[in-house]
Amino acid sequence: MSCPLTAGYSIGCRDSQGGIDYVIALQLENIEDITVVAGEVTAITVVVGEQGYKIEQEQGTGMFDDNPIGNRENGTYRSEQSLSLVLNDRKTETRNLVNLLAKNRLVFLVFENTGRISLAGLERGLMLADGAGGTGTAHEDRNGYTLPFSGTEREQAPTVGLSDAEILALLSPAE
């Protein structure tokens, strides 16, 4: 089967920015359907009564990597996805959230600082790897958590083309 090349790439304006603003975490098991058309998510249907949760990131802390990896000898291709979230406190509520995130396969809507929204963990979900939590030593050290999530997908993360209202609906349980 041929995979025809259908587009090129041109260097554009210097308007790209690194980092992420926030994510919306959804439990993979609570997603009934995700529609992807030409690399863009056009619909997400969750189980009635379930919702996603917004996790904000302090500027300069969270990141998302979506690495294409090919194997010439085997003729295979995959995407290694990793998401690092930073939570700057160790309150009881934060500790409970960390425990819940650690126990689930998650799909994340990643709100990048460029304005792009990516969907990580489309088919298999991302899971917590080796997280870190602690008080730090000096007064300016982090007292909180660093949570690295990772997963392998067949293709790179699609962009999300949902309206603001559709995204907001993911944060409220359907009735």
Cβ 156 vs Cβ 123: under 8 Å: no
Quote the Cα angle for 57-117-89, to 5°: 10
Q: Which residue has the tokens 């587009």?
A: 7
In this predicted structure, what is the pLDDT of residue 162? 97
Express each pLDDT in 121-163 by its tens digit.
999 999 999 999 999 899 988 899 999 999 999 999 999 999 9
Does the structure show a pLDDT above 90 at 172? no
Q: How far apart are CA 22 and CA 58, in angstroms?
A: 9
Name beta bridge partners: 145: 87, 133
Task: Name the residue among 173, 20, 4, 26 with its Cα closest to residue 104.
Answer: 26
Express each pLDDT in 99-121 by its tens digit.
999 999 999 999 999 999 999 99
Q: Quick one: pLDDT band at residue 1, thresholds 50, 70, 90?
A: low
